[in-house]
Each structure stands twice: as C-alpha cells, then as structure tokens.
C-alpha cells in the first residue's frame, strides 16, 4: 500500500462515443487521485487481444476485442493510495445491471457488452497493463501546486 500505487484506467469506445470522457476523469480527479499519463488511441486488434489475454477462453473474447479495437479509447494511469481497489469500487460491478447507483457503471450504463470503462483488477494486472499501454517516457513527472512547489516561481 502506498501513495504512489498506480492503476490503468481506459475509457472504452462506447464511453468516448457517448461523451463520457469528462465525467469519468472528473470522478478520479475529485476523489483525489493524480493523473500520471493519458492518451487517446485506437489500439490494434493484437494490442487489445493482449490486454484481454486472461479472457481468451471466454465465448465473448472475440466480440470484446473487436469492440475495443473499433474506435478510440482514452488510456490513463492514475496514482494514489489504494487506487487499484478504489478504482474498481468507483467503476462498479462487471455487470452494469449489478452496479450500484453512484458508481460509474451504475450511473452511465446498463449492459454487459458495453461497460464504458476498464480498470485494473489487481496490482499485478495494473503493472502489466501499464507496461502494455504506456512507455516510461509517457508517464509525466510533476508536483502539485497545492504543495507549494510552484509558488516560488
């Protein structure tokens, strides 16, 4: 457990197309997590297949990968205390129908095939997913002006 724990969050093509990028980012910002990296990309089919490799034997794997590759996603790294676990709590359940109001899926979606957002489910998968989606130089180092560091300039 540390303040520099990191998780991989991606707004899926349905979330981008529905104009939910701002709403989703706002929730992570207002919770107090720190944005470390962000980019909008249309990932290759091979890339999304690798991202979901743990689900390769599931009947929905092909459709899921095709959908993730069908349009741009907003890929992000968020940092902060317990961000992996709390990121998942903020997402809601895998099935939007079981997601409580107040969670991202509980507020913005209704069906399992269109869950609008991905979030790493463990520290181990966060590390793997961050390495798959981002190069080290894409992770930006900066200090918050709230800690006084930019006041002297």
Binding site for ligand IDP (CB under 6 A): 55, 60, 64, 94, 112-113, 115, 118, 121
Q: Which residue is nearest to ligand IDP (CB)?
A: 94
Helix, strand, or coil (residue 27): helix
Q: How far is the CB of 23 from ligand IDP (least distance, A)?
A: 18
Helix, strand, or coil (residue 42): coil
Q: How far is the CB of 118 from Mg ion (least distance, A)?
A: 7
| Stretch binding Mg ion (CB under 5 A), from 7-15, 30-38, 39-47, 117-125 | 117-125
Nearer to ligand IDP, 55 or 110 (CB): 55
Say which of 47, 51, 69, 118 is annotated catalytic: 118
| Stretch binding Mg ion (CB under 5 A), from 2-10, 12-20, 73-81, 119-127 | 119-127
Helix, strand, or coil (residue 10): strand
Nearer to Mg ion, 107 or 121 (CB): 121
Q: Three-state secondary structure along 93-118?
A: CCCHHHCCECEHHHHHCCECCECCEE
Beta strands in the chain (DSSP E): 6-11, 34-41, 73-79, 117-119
Compute CA distances 109 → 15, 96, 100, 114, 147, whole Å.
9, 6, 11, 7, 37
47: annotated active-site residue? no
Residues marked active site are found at 118
Residues that bind Mg ion (CB under 5 A): 121
């Amino acid at each position: 457990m540390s303040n520099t724990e990191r998780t991989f969050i991606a707004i899926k093509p349905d979330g981008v197309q529905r104009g939910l990028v701002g709403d989703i980012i706002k929730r992570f910002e207002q919770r107090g997590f720190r944005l470390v990296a962000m980019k909008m990309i249309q990932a290759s089919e091979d890339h999304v297949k690798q991202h979901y490799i743990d689900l390769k034997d599931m009947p929905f794997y092909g459709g899921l990968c095709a959908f993730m590759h069908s349009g741009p996603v907003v890929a992000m790294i968020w940092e902060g205390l317990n961000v992996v676990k709390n990121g998942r709590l903020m997402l809601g359940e895998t099935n939007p129908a079981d997601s409580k109001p107040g969670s991202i899926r509980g507020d913005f979606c209704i069906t399992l095939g269109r869950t609008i957002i991905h979030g790493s489910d463990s520290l181990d998968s966060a590390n793997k997913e961050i390495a798959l989606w981002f190069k080290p130089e894409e992770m930006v180092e900066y200090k918050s002006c709230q800690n006084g560091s930019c006041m002297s300039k």
